Amino acid sequence: MASTLDVESDSKGSIALPARLLLDTLKTFPEQPLTFVVEDNNTVEISSNHGKYALAYANGNEFPKAVSLEDPSKTIVSGDILATAISKTIFAAGNDDLRPVMSGVFFQFSTEGLTFVATDAHKLVKYTREDVKANQSAEFIMPKKPLNLLKGILAASDENVIIEYNESNAKFTFENSELICRLIDGKYPNYEAVIPKENPNKLVIGRNQFLNSVRRVSIFSNKTTHQIRLKIAGAELNISAEDIDYSNKAEERLTCDYQGDDIQIGFNSRFLTEMLNNLSSEEVQLEMSMPNRAGILTPVDGLDEGEQVTMLVMPVMLNN
C-alpha cells in the first residue's frame, strides 16, 4: 500500500519507520500539526503540542520495492460500489488453508457487468453489478486482507478506483493511494453449478422479524450444530430449535407470504443470521426446492438499479 500526502518541508529523503509504533502514537492525537525531524543518531523526533517522541528508523532503501504489473488489464469502479461489493461477499469466504482458492473473493469482470463471489462450501454469496462494465472479460481471486483494507478506506467514497490486474497481481489506485497485492493462485470452483435453478417453494417475510426470531430461537439450539428447524405451511412459518443434551427448546410462529408445498428444512442458525445481517432490505425471499437442497436468500427491495445479491445457504440434516 502506498499513499502520498502534502506536507510542508524543504528537504528530501527516505526512511522506514516501525508502522505499529507510529500508528499507535498518531491515533492518540487530536487534529493538530506534527513535526518530524530526522536526527543523525538514526531516530526520528516527532513534536506535538504536548511533547516529543523519538522512534528509531531504518534506511529507506532497504524497504521492499512494490511489484510493477506487466501488461495489465484495467477496469474503473466507483469506490462505494467496490466497498459494497466487498462487504456483501467477504463474510462468506472460507478460512481453510487447505483450500486457498475459497479463502478469497472471486472477481469476475465482463462486458455485461461485474460479479463478486465468495463461498466456504456451507454458504455462498454472489453480488452482481450490471450498471458497471469492464472492457474485456477477466477473472481473479483476491485475498481477504487487502479487501478488508479497501473496504475500510472506500466505505463512503465516490472517488473512482482504477483496478489493474494480470495473471499474478492486482493494483487498486484511488485519490493519492495505491494498493498492490498478489492474487490467490488456482481455479475458482464452478459456483453456478451449486445454485439450484428450480425452486418452487417461495417464502417472503420481513427481514428484521425473521432475523430477530432466528437469533432468539438459536439460543436454545445445540451448541455444536446450531441447528434450527423451519416448518412452513400455508401462511405460517414455525421456527424451532432443541438441545436435547440440556433439555432446552424454543419455538416461534411467524406470519409469512408463502407459495409452495409444506416443507420442513434445517439450517445452521449462524449462517442464516450472518446472511440476514448482511442484507439491508425491508423484506427477504427464501426460495427452496427440497429439504436436502440449498436455500436461496435474496433481498426483495432496497437494491440499486443493476444491483443483484444472491445468497445460498446449505441445509443441515434434521434429526427427527
Q: Angle 178-179-182 (CA atoms, 0-180°, nearest 5)?
A: 145
| Rounded mean pLDDT, 46-50 | 93
Question: What's the pLDDT score for residue 177?
Answer: 94
User: What is the radius of gyration, based on Cα positions, of the chain?
Assistant: 25
pTM tops 0.85, yes or no: yes
pLDDT tens column, 101-130 = 999 999 999 999 999 999 999 999 999 999
pLDDT for 238: 98
Query: Is pLDDT larger for residue 320 or for residue 275?
Result: 275
For the segment 55-84, the average pLDDT, to the nearest whole number, is 93
Whether residue 74 is predicted with pLDDT greater than 80 in this model: the reply is yes
The whole-angstrom separation of Cα 172 and Cα 162 is: 6
Q: What percent of the chain has pLDDT over 70?
A: 100
Q: Is the dihedral of CA 289, 293, 299, 304 positive or negative?
A: negative
pLDDT value of position 122: 94
* Grid coordinates belonging to 48: 506535538
Please give the helix or strand (H or E) that residue 56 lies within, else none.
strand 52-56
Q: Is the pLDDT of residue 155 over 90?
A: no
Q: What φ, ψ does residue 272 adopt, rounded to 5°?
A: -60, -45
pLDDT attached to residue 319:
73
Q: Cα–Cα distance between 202 and 206 in angstroms, integer?
A: 14
Asked if domains 73-192 and 195-313 share a fold, the reply is yes
> How far is it, in rounded angstroms, from Cα 55 to Cα 44?
5
Is the pLDDT reported for residue 320 higher than 70? Answer: no
% of the chain surpassing 90 pLDDT: 93
| Cα–Cα nearest to 250, from 269, 224, 274 | 269
Strand order in the sheet with 236-243: 248-255, 236-243, 227-233, 263-268
Grid coordinates representing 62 are: 532497504
Cell of 154: 472506500
The DSSP secondary-structure symbol of 276 reads H
- The phi and psi torsions of 235 (rounded to 5 degrees) equal -100, 25
Give the model confidence (pLDDT) of 278-314 as tens digits: 999 999 999 999 999 999 999 999 999 999 999 999 9
Q: Domain 73-192 falls in which CATH fold?
A: DNA Polymerase III; Chain A, domain 2 (3.10.150)
> Residue 246: beta bridge partners?
none
Q: What number does CATH give the domain 195-313?
A: 3.10.150.10
Which three cell numbers, joined as nine digits, stand for 221? 439450539
CA-nearest of 228, 216, 211 to 282 is: 211
What pLDDT score was predicted for residue 77? 94
The torsion angles phi and psi of 40, rounded to 5 degrees, stand at -75, -20
Cβ pair 117, 191 in contact under 8 A = yes
Q: Cβ(266)–Cβ(227) under 8 Å?
A: yes
Beta-carbon contacts of residue 104 (< 8 Å; ≥ 6 apart):
93, 118, 141, 142, 143, 144, 147, 184
Identify the pLDDT of residue 15: 95
Give the mean model confidence (pLDDT) for residues 202-223: 98
Q: What is the pLDDT of residue 212?
A: 98
Residue-range domain boundaries for the chain? 2-62, 73-192, 195-313
Does residue 97 or residue 276 have the better pLDDT? 276
Q: What is the pLDDT of residues 12-27, one digit of tens each?
A: 999 999 999 999 999 9
pLDDT band at 36 (very low <50, low <70, confident <90, very high): very high
**CA trace torsion 257, 128, 198, 274 (10° rounding):** -60
> Is 276:289 a contact under the CB 8 Å cutoff?
no
